[in-house]
Amino acid sequence: MATTTATPGSSAYERSWVLDWLTTVDHKKIGVLYIANSFLFFFFAGLLALVIRSELAVPGLQFVDESTFNQSFTMHGTLMIFLFIVPIFSGFANYVVPLMIGAPDMAFPRINALSFWMLPLGGGLIIAGYLVGGAAAGGWTGYNPLTQERFSPGDGTDLWIMGLAVVGTASILGSVNFLTTIFKMRAPGMTLFRMPIFVWTVLVTQALILLATPVITAALIALFIDRNYGGSFFDPSVGGDPILWQHLFWFFGHPEVYIVILPALGVVSEILPVFSRKPLFGYAAFVWATIGIGLLSFSVWAHHMFTTGVVFLPFFTFMTALIAIPTGVKFFNWLATLWRGSLVFTSAMLFALGIVSMFLIGGISGVMLASAPVDFHLQDTYFVVAHLHYVFFGGAAMGVFASAYYWFPKMSGKLLNETLGRIHFALLFIGFNMTFFVQHMLGIQGMPRRIADYAPDAGWTEMNLISTAGAFLIAVSMVPFVINVVTSLMNGRKAGDDPWEGNTLEWATTSPPPTYNFDSLPPIRSERPVFDLRHRDEVPHP
Amino acid sequence: MKQLIRLAAVALPALLLSGCIFPPEPKTTEAEEVRILFLVIFALGAIVFVGVEGFLLYAVVRYRRRDDRLPVQHHGNTKVEIVWTVIPTIIVLILFVTSMFTLGSISARSDDATVIEVEGFQWQWTFRYDTGYEVTGTPGDPPAMVVPAGVPVRLVLRSDDVIHSFYVPAFLVKKDVVPFGQGQAPNELEFTITEPGIYRGQCAEFCGDLHADMTFTVDARSEAEYAAWLEDPGEPTPTAQPSIPEDTFVVELSAENIAFSTHELTVPANEPFVIRFTNLESVQHNVSVYDNEETLFEGQAVTGPDATIDYLIQPLDAGEYTFICDFHPIAEMTGTLTAE
Amino acid sequence: MSAQAPVRREGGFPIPLVGMLLFISSEVMFFGGLFAAYFNARASFEGEWGPPPGAPELEILPIALPITLILLTSSLTMHLGVRAISRGNSSRLRLWLVVTLGLGILFLIGQAYDYTQIGFGISDGVFGTVFYTLTGFHGAHVFGGVVGLTILTARAGAGQFSARNHVAVEAVSYYWHFVDVVWIALFTTLYFLR
Ligand code: HEA
Ligand code: HEA
Ligand code: CUA
Ligand SMILES: [Cu+2]
């Protein structure tokens, strides 16, 4: 990696480039490792999605048998969530949070490296199922008693459990690190309510990880005991309770979805102000909304269990629908930020606007699902698949690309090509809506999810075909992105310290920043210290 | 961006108008209520959607950067922020109240419902009537549930293996079929079909390899026709057991954990033989013999934990055949039968 | 923790202690999940809740109560150790650490022995499963604490702690007290409230 200024010599002796990356405890390098690792898993899980979509394009089993199909969506869901979308935001956060709060590094650099390196280990374990006679095939939700030894005898399920436990432990260690960093390592003047919104969303996200992940770890261990040591937690034939698994899983699973989305919403809240040249409208409201979503997320888990017949529907319908309020506050704050702004449509900005428009659809479909009677119809149909991709892909994964375009210059010192970026966005946007919009309708017409095949006379063929075509268009859209990253790394234009006229502290140092980040910090008197510095003569601060 | 918007402007309404965005024609009284609720909530969602996307598009077009001036730096405005917290709150309350009304009326129970017991198993269904009649499907031959239209029908949903879910899209309601342990009452689902007809349904909770094959139909008939049918449902006659001669060749086969004990059987060609099949688990299995697509023999179902049945099979020409469990036509329950 | 971590001392809690407290809160949720499983199993259990038929009733004597007292005492000795070093008395610290370590090991031995006497196994019904899972994971945590104490003892032996610099001792002591509290909760639920 090229640096624009001489970095203080950190190592007295020369180490090989590879060894340097393998042993690094620098938060920036670890962040880059996280991001690279996550993209590898994204491409693999995306290929599995193409397998799924190809099989479903037309009725009949053409490419894979049922068991392979079931492994495909299980691995697709598991890897996308636990090894792509969650860790990649940990990667961006690793890179930029210390910069944004003016810290030299994370609080525990070595634990930081450890929690990264557990990820390829855990992911490897999960994928290793393919080598021992079949990967796990119980869905990413691993419902019981289907995942008991009796019904899923292979080692793939045990590897899935162990892999997830490793990944979970890694994320707990990571969250201890992030929270300590944010609490204790802020630069002088960086009070909590001057922190960039992205840092706030990371703070709430990591608190959710800290409190939700151990519950799934406990459940996974209990399942492992059931499968391997004759335990009877979840198997009704020996006195266990299959519904207990669902409670434990979703007690974690629902906070998990906000773990995924909050950082993406944070990124939007960094990008919109920069490219509108306005402050985020209602900063404090935004912070409180984020905290509110975090708190509410622990009280809604049973909206995934409406059809089990054993949960108290009014309570969970009500609490779930309530989440629309703080989320709505965020949307309106964004719109007000754009209002009377001075907007430029860089690739990062396009993706941020893409999130606002697409996550909205996912949010509305979520609120429809929150109504228990409507959910009776839509639960476990493609409507849910559509919902989850509008929030995961249209919300979070778009946030990944927005972050990539926004921070790539900081991380590499090079600018990405904007034309390729726009092509990427356009193809992705069209492909995404083709793939997933029709899935709402499939679900409303009653097509269940997780089926390898459907009847030719069910009337679902055309829409499935459109969806499959869209999925391949998404895959094509990745080509300009990969080309863009590779060519820009090799011979992109120099970015300079602050190519976007940014607001936050990461733009106050070189691109990429030196080992301990800052030679000197500007004074911090608001949530936009770099903006204040740039405009110190124009807008006197209140 | 602009082309995109134009494209979307044409494509979206076209898709919406195609009608697929609305639930199927409701065929039960409960479904009618759910459909109305769906439309109410859909309308609320549509208003939010149009409002937010409208503002967004307007802002994107109207406020693109034209010069290098710094716009006015608005940090917030408490009044409007309160307004736009209250608006979604109202929408949420409407949604909640209407949902609760619908929930109340669709969960009402009547005392005189026709009760049918539904058992889901990997991977099909059994429907049992209180007359003792029952019908069990196989993945290749899904069952039909005959029910009366116009009167309440109550399904008692049982499972002994994993979780399934009983779902008929035209009823707009589904319910999980959960293997509750220890004396917990099974789930029930009650509905009143408004119109005779044949409605397709299928298992909606992922339940393993052949989840997609757990299809069935509901055959709703007028009350009189239903009564007549129940008198004489035309039992799918169990093939009478022919007596087995003393010196017939016997091969043994057993099943456990949804898998056959062997995947290779060898029998003499051109003479009758017996497959002595032992089912070691409390899950239904059978053994059938196929020559490609053609069914040569279809074995009667047996349910363990330890049940043995002798299948007498008529002479086969020398060659290779497939034997399979019709309930679980997966690799673990498929094998090659060689006659030589 | 690491040498190049620039620790900003702005007063308040030292960084390692913040980290430890956060970690402990996640552990609380972990045991919370296991306890939820326990109470769920218990609530839906029909018949008499307790050791499976044929196995002897759980007794607090001769083992469970004594090891409880051992663990409680070890919390006290740990505390005395921290007090000693905050007054700069590092030889006292060493003494108390060794005692705490010994008590911790004694607890583990006692529990292992208890397992051999208890007369049912992890696969014997729901109670067997939850009993061994809960106590087993607690035991694993005690073991983790013992490892931590061993390291501390070694470092104390090398004279690495002083009145001003002993956050590691305090961090481990937090953890040790936490493990103790979990045991009290376990002991009361499994042996008394049941
Ligand atoms: C990033 C991930 C993410 C996010 C953010 C959400 C957000 C929400 N989800 Fe979603 N959800 C998933 C991921 C996510 N979900 C996944 C993966 C599943 C399936 C799991 C599985 O089974 O595999 C699922 C399933 C799921 C279900 C269960 C479906 C079923 O299986 O039957 C429900 C039911 O209530 C639900 C509801 C909601 C709601 C109410 C929100 C809300 O947070 C949305 C709030 C946002 C808005 C509403 C938009 C903005 C608001 C305004 C503009 C204000 C005005 C609007 C109104 C008043 C309506 N989700
Ligand atoms: C972050 C989460 C995430 C993301 C991003 C995606 C992305 C995609 N998902 Fe997935 N999905 C889930 C999370 C996610 N999904 C979850 C949780 C489930 C539920 C699982 C379950 O039921 O248990 C699910 C289920 C699911 C289903 C339902 C399966 C079923 O129920 O039977 C389908 C079907 O269409 C699907 C499709 C897709 C598609 C087409 C994409 C595409 O957007 C993927 C696009 C990516 C690629 C195509 C990458 C490959 C790219 C290349 C090959 C480019 C070339 C490379 C170079 C130039 C180097 N997903
Ligand atoms: Cu039975 Cu799915
Ligand atoms: Cu949820």
Q: What is the structure's pLDDT at C128?
A: 85
Q: Which two tokens stand for residue A288?
A: 């409180």
Q: Which range (A138-152, B46-60, B86-100, B306-320) has the least confidence?
A: B306-320
Instruction: Give percent of chain B above pLDDT 70.
Output: 91
Torsion angle in degrees (nearest 10) through CA of A378, A384, A385, A387: 130
Q: What is the structure's pLDDT at C7?
A: 41
Q: Which of residues 114 through 143 in chain B touch A, CB cutoff 8 A?
A: 122
Q: What is the largest CA-CA distance in chain C?
A: 61
Q: What is the structure's pLDDT at C3?
A: 30
Q: How do residues B119-139 score in pLDDT, each as one tens digit?
A: 999 889 999 998 888 888 888
Contacts of B184 in chain C (CB under 8 A): 44
- The verdict on B183 touching C (C-beta cutoff 8 Å) is yes
Cα dihedral across residues A75, A77, A82, A88: positive or negative: positive
Q: Which range (A111-115, B272-276, C29-33, C144-148) has the least confidence?
A: B272-276
Query: Comparing C-alpha atoms, which of C177, C134, C169, C179 is closest to residue C148?
Result: C169
Checking if the pLDDT of C155 tops 70, the result is yes
Q: Round to whole Å and give the CA distance between B18 and B12.
A: 10
**What residues does B135 pair with on adjacent strands?**
B127
Name the residue at shortest CA distance from atom 19 of ligand 2: A77
Most confident of A303-317, B247-261, C84-98, C160-174: A303-317
The contact set of C with B (CB < 8 A) is 44-46
Q: Which range (A72-81, A232-241, B194-203, C15-24) has the least confidence?
A: A232-241
Query: Comparing C-alpha atoms, which of A522, A525, A464 is closest to residue A497?
Result: A522
How many residues can be counted in chain A? Answer: 542
> What is the Cβ-side half-sphere exposure of residue A272, based on CA atoms within 13 angstroms?
34
Query: Concatenated DSSP letters for B110-135?
Result: -TTPEEEEEEEETTEEEEEETTS-EE
- Between the alpha carbon of residue C16 and those of residues A106, A209, C169, the distances in Å are 12, 19, 10
Q: What is the structure's pLDDT at B43?
A: 92
- The verdict on B184 touching C (C-beta cutoff 8 Å) is yes
Checking if the pLDDT of C8 tops 50, the result is no
Of the residues A80, A463, A464, which should be mutated to test ligand 2's pocket, given the most ligand atoms within 8 Å of the CB?
A80
Average pLDDT value over all residues in chain B: 86
Burial per residue of A360-370, b for 16 or more beta-carbon CB atoms within 10 angstroms, e otherwise: bbbbbbbbbbb
Residue pair B70/A350 in contact (Cβ under 8 Å)? The answer is no
> What is the Cβ-side half-sphere exposure of residue A506, based on CA atoms within 13 angstroms?
28
Give me the residue label for tokens 């140092």.
A509
Q: Round to whole Å and give the CA distance between A418 and B79.
A: 39
Interface probe for B, chosen from A319, A333, A342 (most Cβ of B below 10 Å), is A342
Name the residue at shortest CA distance from atom 40 of ligand 2: A471
Stretch B28-41: mean pLDDT: 91
Name the residue at shortest CA distance from atom 1 of ligand 3: B164
Contacts of B76 in chain A (CB under 8 A): 281-285
Q: What is the structure's pLDDT at B237?
A: 46
Per-residue pLDDT tens digits of chain A, which is 542 residues long: 333 444 444 444 566 788 888 888 889 999 999 999 999 999 999 999 999 999 999 888 888 888 899 999 999 999 999 999 999 999 999 999 999 999 998 999 999 999 999 999 999 999 999 998 888 999 999 998 999 988 888 899 999 999 999 999 999 999 999 999 999 989 888 899 999 999 999 999 999 999 999 999 999 999 999 999 988 889 888 888 899 999 999 999 999 999 999 999 999 999 999 999 999 999 999 999 999 999 999 999 999 999 998 888 999 999 999 999 999 999 999 999 999 888 999 999 999 999 999 999 999 999 999 999 999 999 999 999 999 999 999 999 999 999 999 999 999 999 999 999 999 999 999 999 999 999 999 999 999 999 999 988 888 888 999 999 999 999 999 999 999 999 999 988 888 888 998 899 999 888 889 888 888 888 888 888 888 888 877 655 44
ipTM rounded to 2 decimals: 0.89
Q: What is the structure's pLDDT at A536?
A: 77
Q: Which two tokens stand for residue A506?
A: 């990461």
Neighbors of chain A by Cβ distance (3+ pairs < 8 Å) = B, C
Residue pair A46/A472 in contact (Cβ under 8 Å)? The answer is no
Checking if the pLDDT of C147 tops 90, the result is yes
User: Predicted confidence band at C145 (pLDDT cuts at 50, 70, 90)?
Assistant: very high
- B167 CB-near residues (< 8 Å, 6+ apart): A380, A446, A448, B174, B201, B202, B203, B204
Ligand 1 pocket residue status of A364, Cβ below 6 Å: yes
Q: Which two tokens stand for residue B324?
A: 């399979």
Q: What is the pTM of this model?
A: 0.89
Of the residues B41, B42, B48, B81, which should be mutated to test ligand 1's pocket, given the most ligand atoms within 8 Å of the CB?
B48
Q: Which of residues 150 through 169 in chain B touch C, CB cutoff 8 A?
A: none
Q: Which range (B33-47, B147-161, C119-133) has the least confidence?
A: C119-133
**What residues does B250 pair with on adjacent strands?**
B274
Torsion angle in degrees (nearest 10) through CA of B20, B23, B24, B28: -170
Q: What is the structure's pLDDT at B70?
A: 83
What is the nearest CA distance from A164 to chain C, expressed in angstroms? 15
User: What backbone phi and psi angles, to 5 degrees, belong to B332?
Assistant: -65, -20
Distance A254 CA to ligand 4 centre (A): 4
User: Predicted confidence band at B5 (pLDDT cuts at 50, 70, 90)?
Assistant: low
Q: Round to whole Å and give the CA distance between A360 and A335.
A: 12
Checking if the pLDDT of B23 tops 70, the result is yes
Give me the residue label for tokens 């299959």.
A242
Checking if the pLDDT of C39 tops 80, the result is yes
Residue pair B153/A119 in contact (Cβ under 8 Å)? The answer is no
Q: Round to whole Å and give the CA distance between B174 and A375.
A: 9
Q: What is the structure's pLDDT at B75?
A: 85
Distance B157 CA to ligand 3 centre (A): 13
- The verdict on A227 touching C (C-beta cutoff 8 Å) is no
Distance A250 CA to ligand 4 centre (A): 7
Give me the residue label for tokens 């009402």.
B108
- Ligand 3 pocket, CB under 6 A: B 120, 123, 164, 203, 205-207, 211, 214
Q: What is the structure's pLDDT at B8?
A: 59
Stretch B160-179: mean pLDDT: 93
Stretch B239-260: mean pLDDT: 77
Average pLDDT value over all residues in chain C: 84
State which H helix or E strand residue B216 sits in. strand B215-221
Checking if the pLDDT of C11 tops 70, the result is no
Q: What is the structure's pLDDT at A19?
A: 82
Q: Which range (A179-183, A199-203, C116-120, C175-179) has the least confidence?
A: C116-120
Q: What is the structure's pLDDT at B46?
A: 92
Pairing of strands B273-279, B307-313: antiparallel
Looking at the CA of A319, name the nearest ligand: 1
> What is the Cβ-side half-sphere exposure of residue A212, based on CA atoms within 13 angstroms?
26
> What is the Cβ-side half-sphere exposure of residue A101, based on CA atoms within 13 angstroms?
29
Q: What is the structure's pLDDT at C158?
A: 84
Stretch C1-15: mean pLDDT: 52
Q: Which two tokens stand for residue B242?
A: 């022919």
**What residues does B200 pair with on adjacent strands?**
B217
Asked if C44's CB is within 8 angstroms of B181's CB, the reply is yes
Asked if B55's CB is within 8 angstroms of A313's CB, the reply is no
What is the nearest CA distance from A175 to chain C, expressed in angstroms? 9
Q: Which two tokens stand for residue C3?
A: 């040498």
